[in-house]
Structure 1
Amino acid sequence: MNFNAYKFNPLIWIIIIGVLFLRIGTSMTVPFLAIFLHFKVGISLSITGIIVGTSYLSYTLGGFLGGYLSDRYGRKKTLGISLLCYGLIFCGFGIAASIDTSKVVVAGMFCTLNLFAGLFRIWSDTLTQAMLADVVTNEQKVIAFNLRYTVANIGSALGPILGAWIGFSGTIDSFYFTGVMCWAYLSLLLLIASKSKRQWERQATNTNRISIRMAAKTLFHDKSLRLYIVGGIISYLAYVQQESTLGQILMQRFGGTEVFTMILATNAITVVSLQIPITSYCLKRKSPLWLMKIGSFFIAGGLIGMGFSGLSYISYIISQIIFTLGEIFVFSIGGIFIDDIAPENLRGAYFGSLGFQYLGKAIGPVIGGVLLQIFSGQIVLLIFAIIALGSIQLYDSSMKSNQNNRNIPHEKIPCTK
């Protein structure tokens, strides 16, 4: 292993450690939000579904806004405000759950808070990627982005375990703890900012003050980006079935959650152990979009394998490893592609546009649930495997468009005064 590749400047390490903090905190609360609202607050399942779904709405629409604001006013201010507000939102969850009032009022409070929670989460996720792109060298880019993705998965795996061990999972205290983790991340960023201000801040100057209309127009007319985002929506539409429909299918087949837990553990172990070495090796030989095409094949293959695994534990494990390889190729290297095509003064907006892909994640569980009421689990997974294959043509077209753009002189986007 080349340890020199990990000799980042302190800001990059703070970003990566902060991502770990944030994911540990949020994974103690967000996965258990529906359970908490229904079983402890007494809100109906339908209303609970609406509350949980509001965050995906702000995921989809809010990323571009946060990225644009960071381009215009600087990463430090925008990310700092998002982390401060994100922590306040979780404290608001705790307060809302403690208030002795009607369920309608509590549901309304949680719905509003979760809408903003989704907004500030997508801001923090996309802006940390934009900050990495600002600071990291070309030689360290692949390692830095892969490490961020791996650490995020480690945090998501550790959070529920630590929450259960401490006794926070599904309790009001978990909301306050997550708020503290957000502020701990903010404190680390502010501390390092005072010591490496030149590397940290992209100050808003006349060279990057562009209007939001111009930013949106530029993104819309970037054919390579547009095709990539649509491909991402389709990929998420298929990928999210693991988090929603697959669990229901396995409950029907096995009558319990043990196999589903085993599959999720396999996913986490595969990502943590293989993501950095396999992407580092492959990106030296192929472009990100070429790997995304291969990843779509793997996602489809994994879904087909799990659809036809029946009661075989080994088949589920093998299929999940194949599926996770697809996840690694499709989702972990998107930031590298975005950094490659983004104009310098619109880097935040380009990274923010990644949020539009969450439309697939928002509607995927709904479509999967409807199909599962009509067809068998085997047929449903086969349908989504075919959908996953549909993204291949979009990634291929995006790759060709990007290659054509490289033949055109790359000019900075004109700014407004």
Structure 2
Amino acid sequence: MAWPFLIVFLYEDYGASAIEVGTMLAVSAVVGAGTGLYSGYLSDKLGRKWVMVLGSWIASISYTGIALASEVWQFYVLIMMTGLMRPMIEAPAKAVIGDNLKDSKDRELALNIRYFLLNLGGALGPLIGITLALSQPQNLFFVAGGTYVVYGFWLLLGIERKGTFTKPDPSQLSNFAATLNVIRKDNIFVKLMVANFIMMFVYAQAESSIPQVIVRSSIADAAQLIAGLVLVNTLTIIVFQFPMLKWLEHVPLFVRTRIGMILMAIAQIGFLFTPNDWPLGWGIACFILSLGEVIAFPTLNVQIDRMAPPHLRGSYFGAAALYSLGFAIAPLLGGVVIEMLSAYWLFVLCFILCLVMIWLYWLAEHTEDSVEREPIPQS
């Protein structure tokens, strides 16, 4: 959640335009999406630990470098490196859960707990961010870099020392091309990836374009409002995640995800009609968007976990990084729309895309499954 503060920092200290900032974040997300599948494959082939440790150390170098950077080109390089590290940590971390828990319900609970803990950190992060980023923005990135150093050493010493993990049979992972071919033929998975790509594009506006709209508006203390929206998002997730998932426990996964998408669509209407100088309106729309996230995002991981063959779990989670291309396009296209048209048309576009992704999920649900896999429970 450091990016909203970085956007303010780049705009106020370096005069970076919306398109320039959007390009930085877009390049980072493209790098992450492009390397995600291969890093997932490597975690299947070689084991999870070393891929995650390397990713953590790259993250530490990247965030510390951002704190020390003094030229715009340096921000481009370092932000790109943060895109490289993310799938190296995310995909293997999710696959580790499946390696050690055989029951699908246990894995679902563990994935939800993981998502909850990430957002608990996200709730504490804005509090630190408000203190550090508003006075000395560089200190926020020093803290992030140091945190990843600690995380990397914890992984080095702790992962795979206990539990049921065993290194995969190399005969099941003949080569990278064969793995790609298996995933490409999974029609349901491919449709979900397209829909999730759109979802990431819509959601990413909250972290990229909306801060740019606010910081360029007439709102006083724009950075504090942005920090407040980040806090609304994370607190909503912490408070509502488990009650909402318990309420929807027996709702099929595809339907559950579409409910989250409908809430995201309603949030776009809220952003569309909120005056720039009305902080409460931004907060309400962000709250509705966050409720949609609470339902949809944890369910995405559960769906992928249940669809993936055990020996390709890391590769499937790695392939899922391709939908983070939505994050890549979002800052760039969002910045272009804001510069060339207005924020109004950006939110109109996002609302239409919400309708498209809802339709794609319905289509995927009714697609005949041509891949042999373990039975996929729907709730």
TM-score, normalised to structure 1, is 0.77
Q: How far does the alpha carbon of each residue in 1:10-44 deviate from its partner, in whole angstroms, 9 at most, with x for none?
A: xxxxxxxxxxxxxxxxx4x554445555666x585
* Equivalence for 2:193: 229
Shift of 1:340: 0.7
* Equivalence for 1:363: 329
Q: How many residues align?
A: 369
Q: Which runs of 5+ in 1 are unaligned?
A: 1-26, 98-102, 412-417
CA distance in 2, matches of 1:156, 1:230: 27
Shift of 1:409: 4.3
The structure-2 alpha-carbon separation of the partners of 1:195 and 1:384, relative to structure 1 and needing over 3 Å to count, comes to: closer
Q: Say whether the 8 Å CA contact 2:7–2:212 is kept in structure 1.
A: no
The structure-2 alpha-carbon separation of the partners of 1:314 and 1:55, relative to structure 1 and needing over 3 Å to count, comes to: closer
Highest CA radius of gyration, 1 or 2? 1
Cα root mean square deviation, aligned: 3.1
Query: Do structure 1's residue 372 and structure 2's residue 338 form an aligned pair?
Result: yes
* Equivalence for 1:394: 360
Shift of 1:68: 0.6
Secondary structure of 1:255's match? coil
Q: How far does the alpha carbon of each residue in 1:382-405 deviate from its partner, in whole angstroms, 9 at most, with x for none?
A: 33111111101111122223xx32
Q: Say whether the 8 Å CA contact 2:52–2:155 is kept in structure 1.
A: no
* Equivalence for 1:240: 204
The structure-2 alpha-carbon separation of the partners of 1:362 and 1:170, relative to structure 1 and needing over 3 Å to count, comes to: farther
Query: Do structure 1's residue 162 and structure 2's residue 150 form an aligned pair?
Result: no
Shift of 1:316: 4.5
User: Which residue type is aligned with residue 79 of structure 1?
Assistant: M
* Equivalence for 1:77: 50
CA distance in 1, matches of 2:247, 2:270: 26
CA distance in 2, matches of 1:180, 1:252: 32
Matching residue within 89, 94, 106 for 1:129: 94
Q: Say whether the 8 Å CA contact 1:89–1:179 is kept in structure 2.
A: yes
CA distance in 1, matches of 2:141, 2:302: 33
* Equivalence for 1:410: 373
CA distance in 2, matches of 1:316, 1:178: 27
* Equivalence for 1:67: 40
CA distance in 2, matches of 1:125, 1:117: 12
CA distance in 2, matches of 1:296, 1:49: 24
Shift of 1:352: 0.8
The structure-2 alpha-carbon separation of the partners of 1:269 and 1:230, relative to structure 1 and needing over 3 Å to count, comes to: same
User: Which residue type is aligned with residue 346 of structure 1?
Assistant: L
CA distance in 2, matches of 1:370, 1:299: 22
User: Which residue type is aligned with residue 245 of structure 2?
Assistant: T
Secondary structure of 2:104's match? coil
CA distance in 2, matches of 1:221, 1:143: 29
Shift of 1:159: 2.1
Shift of 1:313: 5.8
Shift of 1:145: 1.4
CA distance in 2, matches of 1:187, 1:71: 21
User: Which residue type is aligned with residue 292 of structure 1?
Assistant: T
Q: Say whether the 8 Å CA contact 1:168–1:174 is kept in structure 2.
A: no
Within-5 A mapping of 1:244-263: 244-250=208-214, 255-256=219-220, 257=222, 260-263=226-229
Shift of 1:301: 0.9
Within-5 A mapping of 1:138-287: 138-165=104-131, 170-193=136-159, 195-196=161-162, 198-199=163-164, 201-250=165-214, 255-256=219-220, 257=222, 260-282=226-248, 284-287=249-252
User: Which residue type is aligned with residue 153 of structure 1?
Assistant: N
TM-score, normalised to structure 2, is 0.84
Identical positions, percent: 25
